[in-house]
Structure 1
Amino acid sequence: MTPEILLVFGILVVVIVVLVTEVMPLEVLSMLVLGVLAITGLVTPTEALAGFSNPAVVTIWAVFILSGGLTRTGIANIIGRNMLKLSGTGDARMIMLIMVIAGGLSAFMNNVAVAALMLPVVMDIARKTGKSPSILLMPLAYGSLLGGLTTMIGTPPNILVSEALRTHGLTPFGLFDFSPVGLIVMVVGMLFITFVGTRFLPKHPPFEPERKGEKQVISQYRIQERLFRIHIPKQSALAGHTLASSHLGSRLGLNVIAINRGRKISLAPNSTDTILPDDELIVEGRLDRIQEMNNWGQLLSESVVPEENALLGFGMQVAEVRLSDDSPWLGKSLSELGFRNQYGLNVLEILRLGRQINMNVKSRKLIDGDVLVLHGPMASIKQLAETDGIMPPVVLNAEEVKEKYEKEKKIRLFSIPDTSRLLGMTVTESCLGDALDVQILEVIRKDGSAVVPASDLVFEPGDRLVVAGMSDLVGVLLMQGLEAVFDKDQAVVEDTSILQSDTVGFVEVILSPHSVLVGQTLQEIRFREKFGLNVLAFLRKGKVIRTGLRDLQIQLGDALLLYGQWKKLAVLGREPDFVVLTEKMQEVAREEKAKTALTIMAIVLLPVIFGWVPIYIAVVIGAAFMVLTNCLTMEEAYLYIEWKAVFLIAGMLPLGVALDKTGAALMVAEKVITILGPLGPYGVLFGLLSITFMGTSIIPTAALVVLMVPIALQTSAGLGISPYPLMMGIAMAASSSFTSPISHPANVLVMGPGGYKFMDYVKVGLPLTLVILALLMVIIPIFWPLVG
């Protein structure tokens, strides 16, 4: 084994680990790979960059634009509009029709775009026919994947294997060379899902046809369990404040979805609407949180702590400590570390990249270079200094503390009266500071000693609390207690129909597959401020999440329940980052351009079929005409290109070249021949198919094909068998991504709306994969003989 082979194998191992764990963006990985390959001399600089001009990559991004043109002109909408007329109400017929339409579209469109486009149509059909979305949505995703097998432009793996054949001096696959095998696999796969696979799908409650769609959504998310009424007394601290300045949403996690004032009810009020005495608020949230917060009303506000004692009184100090690049705290939050309990110190804020983070400090993941601003006894600070992974603490003097931190801290002193129900409770049991971003800095005992409160500290008679983080109305609420803000007799809202009208309602949305918001929180994207809509709940992997939504990172596959005015929901439907799961809220398609888009597609395909023009030239010209004829704008064209896939393929292609040039692919092929050769050509085909099927569950399909192609070509040459059946098998297996939600974006897309869990994909996808594996072993040698 040469040093070059060892090096390329080392790079390959790192690549596979990153692909599986996704510890960095795949686009970044691809750029690093081509850079490292060029620097190490495994490929020339020209070969390293050749992936971006590779005909396969050009074909892929141009097909994305063609697919975008068909999407924006409403081809799927037109078909879906007539779907219900043909499907009837029978489950099998409906499921088969959904898959056939999705599969037919995916033969010439990006299958992720097809799934996203058909999703609102299928959800509307489920509502109108009283079907559960869980029965229809996974077949939709799988139908789009199966349809992509039938043509060369149906899926990137087909394009890649065809181009690989051309690069190695062999006749590439034609546009419809995949059709004989792909059509048989598609038909058998659809029949299996319709009559067998659906038996393994979760049986969520079906929609009831006689009920409005909005009521169905409310029932699915169980919102009625968290709707209640609160009355605003005349002397309430909330009176006169707007909803935004009341902090009911940002601090207490309560969504005000209606204001009942006299005999008039205002639905989906704006954040600028003012709360008046005697208003009745209809609120969504945790009723028990209000009772927990009433514990603040058990405290007596003594005074504002004198400035000189705000942070440095009672023997306390403030210090800054920087995390080193090898700190074991990196990637963890203060809550996960149990920081205050373990070290007896408060973290006032985090200094990160020149900015101060003082909101949600406990839940922030720590990163390299963070500076923690600590508050507590000097002895605890010195003890922390002995911990590995942190730089020596810098203790601040009184002037530095006052200049840097005291100006921003609203600090008050509270005492616990002898009649308070807090006596005998622990800090955890009291929930003080849980709902509001308020911090108990220290508890001053009756004897004058002060301690930083651990979670198990028990409140005693005579205790005083030094509390930081109060501002404007929040401080008033803490002093008055919420019992003085709301009336005690909160009533549950049983009839949710009063919350819907011709102008206001509920709707379900998911992230678009083209969204750039993955991994961001609602607070970071300022969702409420931007769209004027309330997010009431998330549906993630079959589980409803209704608490802590502002700080929850949005994932692809999440479904969000929104409440607001229809006109604002319609604006959201035109946002490229979201897909609204009802067709009437979608951006109006350019259906007048549908015939133009279909004509362009036909003109692109005909010269390719007859061999007059290479496919990569034809699709580029077709993509240009999609824009020139206003089927879609240039901005939309950029949006429909899956840049992650383009960069990943372009960056991984040089790795395939390196595997070939260094002899690493030949070495692997020799191992394959040694192990599988005695079993004959069929054994080799079975082995390569099995490896590809297993790999597609954890590795992006395009990257998997790039890695498998040189091995397959070397294996076929070593055994003297035809490369075509092996390449056809790899393309089919790589595109059959059924066994997990993460194996293909189309699977993730339907996960939230369908209420699926990870194992639901395994239950249906694994047997389907085994059926397709057996089928490919039979039909590939018929159309593409292994020998001869």
Structure 2
Amino acid sequence: MTITIIVLIITIAMFIWGRVRGDIVALSSLMVLTATGVLTTSEALSGFSSPILIMMVGLFVVGGAILQTGLAQSAGNSISKMAKGNETRALIYVVLATSIIGAFVSNTGTVAIMMPIIMSMAASSGIRSSRLLMPVAFAGSLGGMLTLIGTPPNLVISETLEENGYAPLKFFSFFPVGVIVIAIGLAVLLPMSLLLIKKIGKHQNGGQGKSVDDLAVQYQLHENIYKYSVGNNKGGLAGMRVQDLDLQNKYGLTILEIRNETKNALGKEIRQNMAWADTMIVQGDILYFYGDKQAMETFARERHLVSMSTDRLDFYDIGISEIVVLPTSRLIGTRIRDSRLREDYSVNILSIHRDKKYIKEELSEHRLQNGDILLVQGQWEKIMQMNHENENWVVLGRPDKLMERVSLDYKAPVAAAIMLLMIVMMVFDFIPIAPVVAVVSAALLMVFAGCFRSVDAAYKTINWESVMLIACMMPMSIALEKTGVSQIVSENLVRSLGALGPYALLAGMYFTTSLMTMFISNTATAVLMAPIALTAAQQIGVSPYSFMFAVTLGASMCFASPFSTPPNALVMKAGRYTFMDYIIVGLPLQIIIGIVMTIILPLLFPF
């Protein structure tokens, strides 16, 4: 028992100190407990085979697909249209939307989606972002209480109940609790958020850098891009090679890409290809041209091309980036047509940014100068290759990060259907599929359906630090129970509060968990407190469900510190908040939720 208590105290102290990664601290604690004989090898490794851990890994992938396809982003963009510049209305919409998204996506991912939307709303409509950012961080946690998968502590208490012979919680068992805490959150945050208003520059972008869409707007690409389809007309382009057209010399035009769009059982598939000299154009191809409008109309008329509406150039396999010509570059003084960038790196030069001017006309004849910024277009792999071969230029930004930020929006309906299928399998009991199987199947379907660029991209969505932290902390609860520590803590809680009745003990469980979550992760706190709450309920002879919900609420509803949850820390810099801002706004919300839920939980889950 002594060893377990010492290890627990040191572990919590290391979590609070924060200088060592949480997963390393948890793994070290696990090894000490195993080496000293407190845990057997099988007990120490039990966390890695836990269904909750596998489910969390699958949920990271599902949530990543929702982000990558732009599904959550499009939902957020609708909010800014509905708010119409009204700050209070915007706050309500933002909190509700964040809560709904947070029911299915990690709270960190949800807040990461909403932040740029809020900053954009602030810049375009005058809404003060500092009033919205902290409520959004809180709403991500509030929304996590709507579903079983909304936040890891929900999964923890469900598994603890099941392991001890109780009926596991269902997908929407949390829904009434979630609705109540969201209502409390809105009621508290509407007036309290006025205390957060700060003067933040409207054009502050937090150093996020330019996205591909930002570059497209900056260089006004939409003004010179034309989209046409190839028919089977006599004298048309079908059957011709790109080099036979001599577009640049005759018309001053460039084919940016040749696209094929097909439909199959998994939705729409889009293939983007660069137009090489020997590329054969076939009927049904969609061509994107770049150049002078009048010349484009002339060429289209001569070749019987069918015009298609376009207001932007999509970036999937093919992207754009900026490169700066260095003083020592071989390109200085060279005409663009002689630069061999297309031949050597398979990229098109779309524009030159020189002395605050954007040069687009007759590009091939312009000679490059020191300091020119070139907007280049090509396959992401080729742009990244240029980034590694920088004797003559420097690529601005990181092409790999730009590529990751490009959403596969044509896959959004597929991602939505898969997520809906996963929810249906988890909600309805007559479907004989375990929740963990439903989640892992959904994750696999997201990969098979092409909602990620690659399997590696899917793996990158998994927060392995969180996975290791949870897997290593789960056996800690075994050690606490095995050595009698959980029993002692629960007996002390029962002795001190049990005489005052189950309501007092329930409140004690919430606020004890809430206090611990201010210093260590909510998942680790839930893992430690769930068995204690279960034992305490058993000792006073009442149903443990209210007590388990008090644990997950105390673990998830932690708003009094910027470091208690990742979303709280995420908005701190953007909103220019201080530690005291979280105490002034977050602590009252945290306390009010605890008081209200102490009364409500026994009504929802009777003692």
TM-score for the superposition, normalised by structure 2: 0.69
The 1:217/1:598 distance shift into structure 2, 3 A limit, reads: closer
Q: Indicate the residue corresponding to 1:188 in structure 2.
A: 184
How far is 1:117 from its partner?
1.6
Q: Indicate the residue corresponding to 1:622 in structure 2.
A: 442
The 1:678/1:619 distance shift into structure 2, 3 A limit, reads: same
Match of 2:539 among 718, 724, 727: 718
How far is 1:575 from its partner?
6.3
Residue type matched to 1:760 in 2? D
Q: Aligned partners of 1:85, 1:764: CA distance in 2, in Å?
A: 28
Q: Indicate the residue corresponding to 2:605 in structure 1.
A: 784
Q: Indicate the residue corresponding to 1:288 in structure 2.
A: none
Q: Indicate the residue corresponding to 2:489 in structure 1.
A: 668
Q: What per-residue deviation string (whole Å, max 9, x for no partner) do you get for residues 669-706 of structure 1?
A: 11111111111100100101111111111111111111
Q: Indicate the residue corresponding to 1:763 in structure 2.
A: 584
How far is 1:645 from its partner?
1.1
State, as a whole percentage, how many aligned pairs show the same letter.
33
Q: Aligned partners of 1:104, 1:599: CA distance in 2, in Å?
A: 17
Contact 1:132 1:206 in 2 (8 A): no
Q: Aligned partners of 2:83, 2:195: CA distance in 1, in Å?
A: 22
Residue type matched to 2:88 in 1? A
Q: Indicate the residue corresponding to 1:17 in structure 2.
A: 13
Q: Aligned partners of 1:707, 1:215: CA distance in 2, in Å?
A: 40
Q: What per-residue deviation string (whole Å, max 9, x for no partner) do you get for residues 712-758 of structure 1?
A: 11111111111100001111121112111111111111122222222
1:131 aligned onto 2:127: yes
1:201 aligned onto 2:196: yes
Contact 2:154 2:552 in 1 (8 A): yes
Residue type matched to 1:112 in 2? T
Q: Aligned partners of 1:269, 1:615: CA distance in 2, in Å?
A: 48
Q: Indicate the residue corresponding to 2:286 in structure 1.
A: none
The 1:273/1:594 distance shift into structure 2, 3 A limit, reads: same
Contact 1:151 1:175 in 2 (8 A): yes
Contact 2:86 2:127 in 1 (8 A): no
- Range 710-719 or range 21-30, more displaced: 21-30
Contact 2:324 2:396 in 1 (8 A): no
How far is 1:651 from its partner?
0.3
1:594 aligned onto 2:412: yes
Q: What per-residue deviation string (whole Å, max 9, x for no partner) do you get for residues 113-138 of structure 1?
A: 11112221221111001223212211
Residue type matched to 2:3 in 1? L
Residue type matched to 1:615 in 2? P
Q: Indicate the residue corresponding to 1:568 in structure 2.
A: 396
Q: Aligned partners of 1:709, 1:123: CA distance in 2, in Å?
A: 38
The 1:613/1:203 distance shift into structure 2, 3 A limit, reads: same
Say which SS state the counterpart of residue 273 (structure 1) adopts. coil
Say which SS state the counterpart of residue 171 (structure 2) adopts. coil
Q: Indicate the residue corresponding to 1:176 in structure 2.
A: 172
Q: Aligned partners of 1:625, 1:707: CA distance in 2, in Å?
A: 34
1:699 aligned onto 2:501: no
Q: Aligned partners of 2:12, 2:200: CA distance in 1, in Å?
A: 40
The 1:630/1:198 distance shift into structure 2, 3 A limit, reads: same
Equivalent residues in 2 for 1:207-286 (5 A)?
207=202, 213=203, 270=324, 272-273=326-327
Q: Aligned partners of 2:545, 2:538: CA distance in 1, in Å?
A: 11
The 1:759/1:204 distance shift into structure 2, 3 A limit, reads: same
How far is 1:643 from its partner?
1.0
Contact 1:601 1:622 in 2 (8 A): yes
Match of 1:644 among 465, 477, 480: 465
Q: Aligned partners of 1:99, 1:575: CA distance in 2, in Å?
A: 30
Contact 1:38 1:48 in 2 (8 A): yes
The 1:91/1:217 distance shift into structure 2, 3 A limit, reads: farther
Q: Aligned partners of 1:138, 1:619: CA distance in 2, in Å?
A: 30
The 1:722/1:95 distance shift into structure 2, 3 A limit, reads: same
Contact 1:697 1:740 in 2 (8 A): yes
Q: Aligned partners of 1:144, 1:769: CA distance in 2, in Å?
A: 14
The 1:75/1:269 distance shift into structure 2, 3 A limit, reads: closer
Q: Indicate the residue corresponding to 1:68 in structure 2.
A: 64
Say which SS state the counterpart of residue 149 (structure 2) adopts. helix
The 1:216/1:615 distance shift into structure 2, 3 A limit, reads: closer
Match of 2:424 among 590, 606, 624: 606
Residue type matched to 1:45 in 2? T
Say which SS state the counterpart of residue 720 (structure 1) adopts. coil
How far is 1:80 from its partner?
2.4
How far is 1:588 from its partner?
2.5
Q: Aligned partners of 1:48, 1:655: CA distance in 2, in Å?
A: 8
Residue type matched to 1:26 in 2? G
Q: Indicate the residue corresponding to 2:251 in structure 1.
A: none
The 1:746/1:29 distance shift into structure 2, 3 A limit, reads: same
How far is 1:22 from its partner?
2.1
How far is 1:269 from its partner?
9.6
Q: Indicate the residue corresponding to 1:108 in structure 2.
A: 104
Contact 1:736 1:769 in 2 (8 A): yes
Equivalent residues in 2 for 1:44-55 (5 A)?
44-55=40-51
Gaps of 5+ in 2: 209-321, 330-353, 360-370, 372-386
1:37 aligned onto 2:33: yes
Contact 1:130 1:206 in 2 (8 A): no
The 1:531/1:659 distance shift into structure 2, 3 A limit, reads: farther
How far is 1:105 from its partner?
0.6
Q: Aligned partners of 2:165, 2:83: CA distance in 1, in Å?
A: 48
Residue type matched to 2:137 in 1? A
Q: Aligned partners of 2:358, 2:173: CA distance in 1, in Å?
A: 53
The 1:146/1:157 distance shift into structure 2, 3 A limit, reads: same
Contact 1:131 1:206 in 2 (8 A): no
The 1:719/1:216 distance shift into structure 2, 3 A limit, reads: closer
Q: Indicate the residue corresponding to 2:566 in structure 1.
A: 745
How far is 1:81 from its partner?
2.5
The 1:201/1:501 distance shift into structure 2, 3 A limit, reads: farther
How far is 1:760 from its partner?
1.5
Q: What per-residue deviation string (whole Å, max 9, x for no partner) do you get for residues 190-226 of structure 1?
A: 2321x2221221421463xxxxx479999xxxxxxxx
Q: Indicate the residue corresponding to 2:451 in structure 1.
A: 631
TM-score for the superposition, normalised by structure 1: 0.53
Residue type matched to 1:571 in 2? P
Gaps of 5+ in 1: 208-212, 219-267, 276-497, 505-528, 533-563, 577-586
Q: Indicate the residue corresponding to 1:226 in structure 2.
A: none
1:164 aligned onto 2:165: no
Equivalent residues in 2 for 1:378-389 (5 A)?
none
Equivalent residues in 2 for 1:505-520 (5 A)?
none
Number of matched residues? 443
Residue type matched to 2:505 in 1? V
Residue type matched to 2:196 in 1? L
Q: What per-residue deviation string (whole Å, max 9, x for no partner) do you get for residues 259-295 of structure 1?
A: xxxxxxxxx99583379xxxxxxxxxxxxxxxxxxxx
The 1:595/1:269 distance shift into structure 2, 3 A limit, reads: closer
Richer in helix (by share): 2
Q: Aligned partners of 1:271, 1:131: CA distance in 2, in Å?
A: 40
Residue type matched to 2:471 in 1? A
Q: Aligned partners of 1:745, 1:215: CA distance in 2, in Å?
A: 20
Who wins on radius of gyration, i.e. which is larger? 1
Supply the RMSD in Å over aligned alpha carbons. 2.9
Residue type matched to 2:437 in 1? I
Q: Aligned partners of 1:137, 1:653: CA distance in 2, in Å?
A: 33
The 1:216/1:705 distance shift into structure 2, 3 A limit, reads: closer
Say which SS state the counterpart of residue 752 (structure 1) adopts. helix
Q: Indicate the residue corresponding to 2:235 in structure 1.
A: none
Contact 2:198 2:576 in 1 (8 A): no
Contact 1:133 1:206 in 2 (8 A): no
The 1:501/1:743 distance shift into structure 2, 3 A limit, reads: farther
